Chain A
Amino acid sequence: MIVEIFRVKVKHYVGASGKTFFGKLSPVLFYFLWLFVVGFVSIALRFYGIAVGALLDDFVTALRPLTVSSILAVGIFLGMKGGITAINYEVEYIFTSTVKPRTFLLSDFLFQFIFLNLFAMPASAVMVTLLTYPRHVANLVQMLPLLEASIVSAILLGHILGMARNWLDRKYVMAVGWALIASVLLPLLDMFLGWFPGLKQASLPANLVLGLLGGGWNSAAGAVFIAFLATAYALMAGKIRYMGLAPVLTHVLTEPPKKIFNVIKTPKSLSRLFGIGADDGPLVLTLKIHMTRFVRDGSLWITAFVLLLLVYVNSFLPQALAVTATIEASYITIITLYTPLIPALLSINWVLSERNNIWLYQLSVHKIKTYVISLLTAYVIVSLVFSAGLLTAVHLFSGPVPIVYLDFLLLTSSSVFGSFFALLMSTSVKKMPSPFSMTSVFLVVVPLLGSQILSLPVLVARLFEPVVKNPPTMLPPFLMAYVLCLSMAVYYVSIRNSRNVSPH
C-alpha cells in the first residue's frame, strides 16, 4: 500500500505536467536546467577561487554546515506548517479510508525522500566535483553521506512536528519549531563570525548531524540523534489520527495549484494598516488591496523568510573565501542579487491565487491599466522597503559601513527592474503553471536575470572601488539618467503587455 500511494502521487504529479510533448518534457527540462545552473555557478566560483588564490576545498568544507543547517531549517519550517504533504484527493479519499495513518506517513516519507534526493544529490555531486576536481572523490565521500543524513533528519523532524499537532496546540508546535530553527541556524554565527562561542560544540541538531563525519563519539552522537528521531517517529506514527494532521502542499508538487498560501489571520491593527475605505480613489484602493493581500495571504512573510534565509546563508560566503577587503560591497551585491526575488515570488503568488479575481476589474468602470500600475507600484514599494531594511541591517551589524549614492541607486534599479520583469512575466503567462514547469522557472529566473543585466552598469560601478571612492564627475548623473530612462522604457513595455490580462 505504501508503494501504491506513492506511485499514484508520482503519477498525479507527472500527469499534471501537461498533455503536449513539451509539457511532458518540462519536468525533465526543469531538472536539467537546475543542474545547469548549479554547474554554472560552480564553474564561476571555481574561476573566482583561482583568481583570488582561495583553495576551494575550504569552500566545500564551509559549505557543509551551511547545507546541513539549511536543509534542516527547511524541514522544520515545513513541519511548522504541517509537515506531511498530501494532495487534495489523498485528504478526501485516503484520509477517510481504512488506510492507517502510519502507512500514509511512510509513503509520504518515501515521496519526500526520493524527491529531495533527486534534487539535492546530483546537484551537490556536480558542485563538489566542479569545485574541487581532481580532489573531488575525497570531498564527495564526505559531502554526500552528510547530505543524506540531513535529508532524512529534515523529513523526520518535519513529520514529527506535523504529527505533534495531534497532541499539542498549533501555537506550541510553532514555538518548538522556531526554537528548533534557531538551534540549527545559530551555530553558523559561531562558525563564521565567532559570535556565541561554544555553540559550535553544543549538542544541537545541526552539530550532531555534522558530527557524523567526525568519527568516534561525535559519529556515535550523530547516529544516536537520528535513531532518536526515527524512534520518536515510529512511536508517534502508530498513535496519530488523520484528523490531527494539517497537510501542506495540497496542490503544490502535484497539480497546478489554486493557491500556495492560505489566508492568515493577522492582528487587526496590522490588517487595518491599509484600511480599504469608501473614500479611496481607484489607484489608491487597488494599491491597498494588493498590500492587504501580501500581508494577509502570507506571501509577504514567506518572501521575507526566503530572502532573509538566502542573504543570511550567502553572507557567509565572503568570509568562507576570506574576501574581507570589500565586505560591504559583498553584502550589497548579495542583497542586490536577491532583491528581484521579492517581486518574482510575489508575482508567482499573484499568478496562482489572485489572477482569477481579475474578472472583478474587467467588469469595473475603471481601466485595467489602473490595476496593473497599482500592482507594479506595490511590487516596487515592497522590494524597496525590504532591500532598504536589509541594507540597514548590514549597516548595523557590520559596523559603520559607508553607504554611497551607488548603493541607493543599485537597490532602486534592482527593485524597479525586478518588479517590471516580474509583472511582465506573470501577466504573459496564459495558463496556471505547475510548480516544476518551465513557466515556473521563467517566473523566477527572468526577473532575477533581467534585473541583473539591466543593473549591471550600476553594479560594476559599485564593485569597482576607485570609482566608489573618487567618482568621475559625470558618472552619478549618467547612471541616474540610465536608470530613469530604462525604467521608463520597461514601464512602457510591461504596462502595454498587461493590457489584455485575463483570468486563467
Chain B
Amino acid sequence: MATYLVEVNDLWKSFGKIRAVRGISFRLEPGQIHGLLGPNGSGKTTTLRCIVGLLRPDRGTVKIAGEEISKTDSYKRTVGYLPENPSLPEYLTVEEFLIFSAKLKGLDAERVRRDVSHLMDAFGLVDVSDRLIYELSKGVRQRVAVSASLVGEPPILIMDEPFNGLDPEAQKTTKDFINITVERGGAVLISTHLLDSAEKICNYASVIAEGTLLQSSPLYELKRYNGGKSLEEIFIEMVSRRRIRKIDS
C-alpha cells in the first residue's frame, strides 16, 4: 500500500506558447482535504486535468495509489472527478446519467442501483430523476455532476470548483460526502477560488499562481506562519508579492 494516494512530481504543461503549469509537485495523503488555491488562470484546472489523465503533461509524473497513470488504467476505479463546468449528455435523464456514470466505473448492477438511489436521495434529485439534463437549472446540473463524481464511493476525489452554483443545502451535502471520504481513509483535492469555503473544509493548502507552486503546507501551519491571518489575507499577500517581484525583475 502506497503512503500517498496522489503524487504529483515536477509537472509541466504548455498550450502553444503559454506555459500553464511550471514544475508543480505535491502529494495527497489519506485523510487529507487538499485545497488547490489560485487566482483565475493560474493553472489549477490544467493541473487537475493532468492528474486525472485527461491531459498528457509535457514533463513530470502523476502517481495514483503508487501507480503512474501513464502506464495503467486501474486508477480510474479509485478516482471520482468533477470538472469545472462539466459537459454532460443533455439528452439523458438524471437517473439515466447516474446509471451510466456508475456503469462507466465498472460497478455491478446491484451496486449501480444502490449508489444511484442513495445519491439521488442525498442530493434531492428524486423529483427530477425523470427530467432531461437539458431541462435542469445550473444549480441542479451541478448537483447531478457532483453526484456522478461520487458514484462508487471512490477513495480519491478530484473536484474542480465543486461548490459552483450549489445552494447551501447541496453545499453541505457535498461537504458531508467529502468528510465521509476522508474518514474512510481517502483524500480529496479541491480546486477553488472561494477561500472562505476552502478555509472551512480543507486541512491542507497549495497556492499556485501563473502555473507555479508558491506554497504547499497544512492549513494550520500556513496560518501560524503568517501570524494567524485568514486564508484570504494570506492568499492575496502571496499573490501580490509575486506580482511585485515579477515587476521588479
The one of B104, B109, B112 in contact with A365, judged by C-beta atoms closer than 8 angstroms, is B104
Q: Contact between A276 and B104 (Cβ–Cβ < 8 Å)?
A: no
State whether the Cβ of A194 lies closer than 8 Å to any Cβ in chain B: no
Find out whether the CB atom of A366 lies under 8 angstroms from the CB atom of B106: yes
For B88, the chain A residues whose CB sits under 8 A away are 357
Of A22-30, A277-285, A379-387, the one touching chain B: A277-285
Instruction: List which B149-187 residues lie within 8 A (CB) of chain A.
Output: none
**CB < 8 Å: which of A262, A276, A297, A359 contacts B100?**
A276
Complex Cα distance, B102 from A364, in Å, reads 9
Q: CB < 8 Å: which of A280, A293, A367, A502 contacts B89? A: A293
| Residue numbers in B under 8 Å from A279 (CB-CB) | 109
Task: Report whether B109 and A363 are in contact in the complex, using a CB–CB cutoff of 8 Å.
Answer: no
Interface residues of B in 89-127 (CB under 8 A from A): 89-92, 96, 99-106, 109-110, 112-113, 116
Q: Tell me if A297 and B91 are in contact (CB < 8 A).
A: yes
State the Cβ distance, B69 to closest chain A Cβ, in Å.
11
Produce 1/0 per residue, B69-83, CB < 8 A to A: 000010011010101
Complex CA gap A358/B52 in Å reads: 14
Task: Find chain A residues with CB under 8 A from B135 CB.
Answer: 263
Closest chain-A Cβ to B178's Cβ sits at a distance in Å of 19
Whether A359 lies near B83 (C-beta < 8 A) is yes
Closest approach, in angstroms, between the C-beta of B62 and any C-beta of chain A?
14
Contact with A along B40-63 (1 / 0, CB 8 A): 000000000000111000000000
**Contact at B87–A365, with CB atoms within 8 Å?**
no
Most buried by B among A262, A277, A357, A360: A360
Any B CB within 8 A of the CB of A354? yes
Tell whether B132 is near chain A: CB-to-CB under 8 Å: yes
Interface residues on A, range: 20 to 34
Q: Which of A295-321 contact B (CB under 8 A)?
A: 296-297
Q: Which listed residue (A356, A365, A502) contacts B105, Cβ 8 A?
A: A365
- A263-281: contact bitstring with B at CB < 8 Å (1 yes, 0 no)? 1010000000000111110
Q: Kindly list chain A residues whose C-beta atoms are within 8 Å of the C-beta of B100.
A: 276, 285, 289, 360
CA distance A315 to B134 in the complex (A): 38
- CB neighbours (8 Å) of A265 from chain B are 132
How close is B53's CB to chain A, nearest CB, in angstroms? 7
By beta carbon, the residue of chain B nearest A361 is B104
Q: Is the CB of A365 within 8 A of B81?
A: no
A366 to B73, CA, bound (A): 9
A347 within 8 A of partner (CB): no
Does residue A428 face the partner (Cβ distance < 8 Å to B)?
no
Q: How far is the CB of A295 from chain B (nearest CB, A)?
A: 8
| Interface pair B91/A280, CB less than 8 Å apart | no
> Does residue A362 face the partner (Cβ distance < 8 Å to B)?
yes
Q: Across the interface, do A365 and B54 meet the contact criterion of CB distance under 8 Å?
A: no
Q: How far, in Å, is B135 (CB) from chain A's closest CB?
A: 8
Residues of B contacting A434 in the complex (Cβ-Cβ under 8 angstroms): none
Q: Once the chains bind, are A363 and B76 in contact (CB under 8 Å)?
A: yes
Interface pair B132/A364, CB less than 8 Å apart = no
| Best-surrounded residue of A265, A296, A356, A363 (most CB of chain B within 10 A) | A363
Assembled-state Cα–Cα distance A289/B91 (Å): 9
Is the beta-carbon distance between A365 and B76 smaller than 8 angstroms? yes
Across the interface, which residues of A come within 8 angstroms of B113, CB to CB? 278
Least CB distance, A410 to chain B, in whole angstroms: 33
CB distance from B79 to the nearest CB of A (A): 7
Interface majority SS (helix, strand, loop, mixed), chain A: loop
Q: Does A292 count as interface, using CB distance less than 8 angstroms?
A: yes
CB nearest neighbor in A for B134: A263
The residue in chain A whose Cβ has the minimal distance to the Cβ of B133 is A263
A363 touches B91 (CB 8 A): no
User: Within the complex, which residue of A280, A359, A362, A367 is in contact with B103, where a contact is CB–CB below 8 Å?
Assistant: A280
* Cβ of A244 under 8 Å from chain B: no
Whether A292 contacts B81 in the complex (CB less than 8 A), given A365-B76, A366-B104, comes out as no
Do A362 and B99 contact each other (CB < 8 Å), given the known contacts A265-B132, A356-B87?
no
Bound together, the chains give a CA A359 to CA B49 distance in angstroms of 10
CB atoms of A357 and B104 under 8 A apart: no
CA–CA, A292 to B95, complex, Å?
14
Chain A residues with Cβ below 8 Å from B99 are 276-278
A282-B103, A292-B92, A360-B104 known; A365 vs B77 contact (CB < 8 Å): yes
Select B92's contact among A280, A289, A365, beta carbons within 8 Å.
Answer: A289
Q: How far is the CA of A360 from the CA of B106 in the complex (A)?
A: 13
Q: Are B87 and A359 in contact (CB under 8 A)?
A: yes
A359 vs B85: C-alpha distance when bound (angstroms): 12
Considering the complex, give the chain A residue whose CB is closest to the CB of B90.
A263
A364 to B79, CA, bound (A): 10
Whether, in the assembled complex, A214 has its beta carbon less than 8 Å from a beta carbon of chain B, the answer is no
Per the bound structure, the CA–CA distance linking A263 and B131 in Å amounts to 12
**Closest beta carbon of chain A to B151's beta carbon, Å:** 11
A296–B54 touching, CB < 8 Å: no
In the complex formed, the residue of A with least CB distance to B130 is A268
Q: Chain A contacts of B86 at CB under 8 A?
A: 359
Which of B77, B91, B101, B106 contacts A263 (CB under 8 A)?
Answer: B91
| Residue A122 interfacial (CB < 8 Å) | no
Q: Is the CB of A363 within 8 A of B52?
A: yes
* A359: B residues at CB distance < 8 A: 54, 83, 86-87
- In the bound complex, residues from chain A placing their C-beta under 8 Å from that of B110 are 278
CA distance A419 to B2 in the complex (A): 46
Q: In the complex, what residue of chain B is closest to A366 when comparing beta carbons?
A: B104
Is there a chain B Cβ closer than 8 Å to A503's Cβ? Answer: yes
Contacts of B116 in A (CB 8 A): 278
> Which of B87, B90, B109, B134 lies in contact with A503, CB distance below 8 A?
B87
Contacts of B104 in A (CB 8 A): 360-361, 363-366
Question: In the assembly, what is the distance between CA of A144 and CA of B54, in Å?
Answer: 54
Given A263-B134, A265-B132, A276-B99, the answer on whether A365 and B89 have CB atoms closer than 8 Å is no
Q: How far is the CA of A365 from the CA of B108 in the complex (A)?
A: 13
Which residues does chain B contribute within 8 Å of A292, judged by CB atoms?
91-92, 96
Closest 10 CB pairs of A and B: A364-B104, A263-B134, A365-B106, A356-B87, A296-B91, A278-B112, A278-B109, A276-B96, A279-B109, A297-B91
Sample 5 A-B pairs with CB under 8 A, ordered by A number.
Answer: A263-B135, A278-B113, A357-B87, A363-B104, A502-B54
Q: Add 12 more A-B contacts to A278-B113, A359-B87 (CB < 8 A).
A: A263-B90, A263-B134, A278-B109, A278-B112, A278-B116, A289-B100, A292-B96, A360-B89, A363-B52, A363-B53, A364-B106, A365-B104
